[in-house]
A and B are shown apart, each in its own frame.
Chain A
Amino acid sequence: MTRRPGGAKRSSWHTYRRRMTIVRLLLRHARSRDDLIKAVRMELGEEAYPEAQEAAFKHDLDKLKEEYNCQIVFKRKEGVYELQDLGELALLDLSDTVLDALKIIEQLGKLLPGSINLSIFADQIIRLLPPSRRDALLDRSSVLIKTQGQSHSPPEPSVIDKIRRAIRQRQELEFDYTGLNSDEPAHYRVQPYGILIRPEGHIYLDANRVSVTPSHALPKTRNLSPVQEFRLDRIVADSIRMLPNKLPAERVGLQKYRIKYKLSKEVARRRDVASYFPETVFDYHSDGSATVTATVTNLWQTRQVLLRYGHVCTVLEPPELVEMFRETARGLHDIYLAGEQTERSLGE
């Protein structure tokens, strides 16, 4: 019998493809021998295995273990082969940035109900990683804490830790804080009630102020209300301390305001205006406009939110919010129109 030139090379390539196909099929899930042989034949053609297919299949598994260090075990009870480790075939080398993303998916998978299947997805990807990258992934254990969205100066972990504990244990905190009014930090004693995160990524502590030193650090407009938000990245890290004082049973100083504003037809005519405040009620009018009512406690934040509408929103209630918008309008006028008026009066 004469051998065709190149036949050995073709046969070797054929065997290699067969073995890689087995690995790929096992990556999806555990399978029986017959199932694997059938699937390999479906992919590579009937000639993929010789007549003595069981012996060839066993040889394939032995070679995968021997040459590539793959760990393939036979699960007798289920009658299936399971790929437990890819060994040398773990070729997916991901950058640190992508590992961070994978870690988030893995952690989300643990938090979300099983029906979301993110854990299975993460597990399958992790199995493709070489051991060194799997170790690197393990080291990125606190990536969810470290990732800060668009916030450029993340708060110190020690600050976060103490704030969390104080909120859970309902205990007062003291810290130095650099507010907007001064470059020098002032010393605050506060009752912490919660953390909040704005869509732009800034993180705040929502608290009641008990005292501040020096007292002139406080903006005049806030003198009456003890309720204040503190940006976490502006708290001086080594100054924060939990105090033994417990928080009162009920938070004091919160004032509810019913707000009312009118949106013109440019934004309201499709009747799909989004809610931005608690207890929002829309009253759509026949001319396309809408009157919106809601309940808030933070007029400053309310103004920030409503400013997005520009001139198509008219604030009607409460008087305090109307006055804040007048103040804003005066400021905008001074910036954009004062020069125009001067030019006009000079022209006359």
Chain B
Amino acid sequence: MSASRIPLKKRISPEERIRLIENWFPLVQSTNELLGWNLDGSKLEELILESAPHLRCCCSPIEAYTVLISYYVQLTQKSDS
């Protein structure tokens, strides 16, 4: 299995994981509030980690919102099934 196929949360150190979540938490939380997703902290962390490969290369707010909405839909579909 190549490094890129291993889920990001397993590839990075605990410190890097915290840093990644911390970096995106304010934007993700504000999106959560604006769009009424009502996700709690642990779900928001899951959303950040799942979307991180795309999120950390986003260079505009609209790109980041797009990635977040996309992964939010996947997350909710996963929890529904």
Contact = CB atoms under 8 A, between A and B. Distances in A.
Interface in B1-23: 12-23
Most buried by B among A112, A146, A194: A194
B60 A203 contact: yes
Contacts of B69: 108, 112
Nearest to A145: B60
Contacts of A24: none
Given A144-B66, A154-B60, A232-B59, A256 B41 contact: no
A298 B33 CA distance: 23
A197 B64 contact: yes
Interface in B54-75: 56-64, 66-67, 69-70, 73-74
Contacts of B22: 277-278, 296-298, 301
Contacts of B27: 196-199
A147 B25 contact: no
A151 B59 CA distance: 11
A107 B56 contact: no
A254 to B, nearest CB: 4
Given A113-B77, A116-B73, A148-B61, A279 B18 contact: yes
B81 interface: no
B58 A195 contact: yes
B29 A146 contact: no
Contacts, number: 126
Per DSSP, are chain B's interface residues mostly helix, strand or loop, or mixed? helix
A1 B73 CA distance: 68
Given A195-B56, A199-B30, A278-B21, A254 B41 contact: no
A167 B59 contact: no
A11 interface: no
Interface in A264-279: 274-279
A288 interface: no
A141 B38 CA distance: 33
Most buried by B among A164, A232, A274, A275: A275
A278 B19 CA distance: 9
Nearest to B41: A275
B47 to A, nearest CB: 12
A218 to B, nearest CB: 20
A149 interface: yes
A15 interface: no
Contacts of A112: 69-70, 73
B62 A147 contact: yes
A232 B59 CA distance: 9
A148 to B, nearest CB: 5
Contacts of A278: 17-18, 21-22, 25, 45
A155 B21 contact: no
A104 interface: yes
Given A104-B62, A112-B69, A206-B19, A167 B29 contact: no
A267 B10 CA distance: 36
Most buried by A among B40, B58, B59: B59
B14 A276 contact: no
B18 A295 contact: yes
Interface string A190-224: 00011111110101001000000000000000000
A89 interface: no
B55 to A, nearest CB: 8
A335 interface: no
A142 to B, nearest CB: 10
Given A154-B60, A279-B45, 19 more contacts: A113-B77, A116-B73, A149-B62, A164-B59, A195-B56, A197-B61, A206-B23, A250-B13, A251-B15, A251-B19, A256-B15, A274-B29, A275-B25, A275-B40, A277-B22, A278-B45, A296-B18, A297-B18, A297-B19
5 contacts: A113-B70, A115-B77, A150-B61, A151-B61, A196-B24
Closest 7 pairs between A and B when the two form their complex, measured CB to CB: A275-B41, A149-B61, A194-B56, A254-B15, A196-B23, A278-B21, A199-B30
